[in-house]
Amino acid sequence: MNSIQSLVIIGSGNVATHLASAFQDAGLDILGIYSQTFKNSQILADKLNANAFESITDIPDTADAYLLAVTDSALIKIVSEMPIVNGVLMHTSGSVGLDVFPTRIIRSAVFYPLQTFTKGKSIDFSSVPILIESKNKIVLKQLENLGDKISKTVKSIDSKQRKQLHLAAVFASNFSNYMYHIAFNLLKENDLNFDLLKPLINETVEKLNSISPQEAQTGPAIRDDHKTINEHIDMLDNNPAYQHIYRLISDQIKKLKS
């Protein structure tokens, strides 16, 4: 097996930027960047001291791998426009299957970093799980090797599992963040600072290192404390959407007891 030494990055968003930097820091050779918006390619290329390609046809065919870190909707278009290359073609999406690649592409793969990336905020990549997939066993070995260079958790899973993981991540990250948003608003309305909740939020997460979320569940709903639940529902009278969410989740939490 030849390990992957050189990469072309396709895309210039948060995932592309964070992964490209992690690869470069790990000693890999970034041959250049292509993005649908040339200006964005240039910004990332400048950061990495690499080339920016103006057209997709300018992409060199000599890279060991091509990282397609673009939105799910752009992915099909990019795959169809890609010049024929020998290297591994890998996308980074949690919700798109391996089948986005036509069967003529032999070295197709997925390299999915399970993390939320924020512009300008650096990440310790060693703790980011990398979920890999390929039908080609040599390619899978190459991805494992590539993943090991930037992360201590590299795991091979299939498209169905990855989609399930992505769905679970929506609940665990996007929806929990929306719960913080509601809390933020409820406090703002009463001149209270969101910082007051941070130790509680941290401890709620910290608990998961010793017990399961089900065991960790606290609050009025799990205690069947109807008096508090009804008071809370009354307090949310001016916000029917928050009230609806409160009712629905409380009803579910109550069922955990039985």
User: By CB under 8 A, which span of 32-40, 45-53, 58-66, 117-125 interacts with a second copy?
Assistant: 117-125
Cα separation values, 7 from 23, 24, 50, 55, 75, Å = 9, 10, 11, 17, 18
- Binning the chain into helix, strand and coil, the percentages to the nearest 5 are 50, 15, 35
Residue 98 as a binder of a second copy (CB under 8 A): the answer is no
**Rounded-to-integer distance, Cα 51 and Cα 62, Å:** 14
| Residue 22: count of CB within 10 angstroms of its CB | 21
Name the minimum Å distance from CB 143 to a second copy: 17
| Amino acid present at 249 | I
Contact track, a second copy, 141-160, x by CB under 8 A? ------------x-x-x--x
The reply on whether position 238 binds a second copy by CB under 8 A is no
CB of residue 58 vs a second copy: minimum separation in angstroms?
Answer: 29
Q: Say if residues 87 and 134 touch (Cβ distance below 8 Å).
A: no
Residue 168 Cβ vs a second copy, minimum distance, rounded to whole Å: 4
Token readout for 192 is: 């209270």
Q: Does 77 bind a second copy (CB under 8 A)?
A: no
- For a second copy, which is the closer residue by CB, 104 or 121? 121
For the bound state, the minimum distance from the C-beta of residue 241 to a second copy, rounded and expressed in Å, comes to: 6
Nearer to a second copy, 6 or 239 (CB): 239
Stretch that binds a second copy, among 28-36, 53-61, 78-86, 212-220 (CB under 8 A): 212-220
In which residue are the tokens 């930097």 written?
Answer: 21
Does residue 122 touch a second copy according to CB under 8 A?
no
The answer to whether 41 and 99 are in contact (CB under 8 A) is no
Nearest by Cα to 111 from 137, 143, 82, 135 = 143
Strand partners, 52: 33
**Amino acid identity, position 121:** K
Q: Which of 48, 98, 105, 245 binds a second copy (CB under 8 A)?
A: 245
State CA 150 to chain mean position distance: 16
Contact set for a second copy, span 8-67 (CB under 8 A): none
Residue of 98, 140, 186, 243 interacting with a second copy (CB under 8 A): 186
Q: In the complex with a second copy, which residue's Cβ is closer, 104 or 124?
A: 124
Q: Contact between 104 and a second copy (CB under 8 A)?
A: no
Residue from 6, 71, 136, 159 that binds a second copy (CB under 8 A)? 71
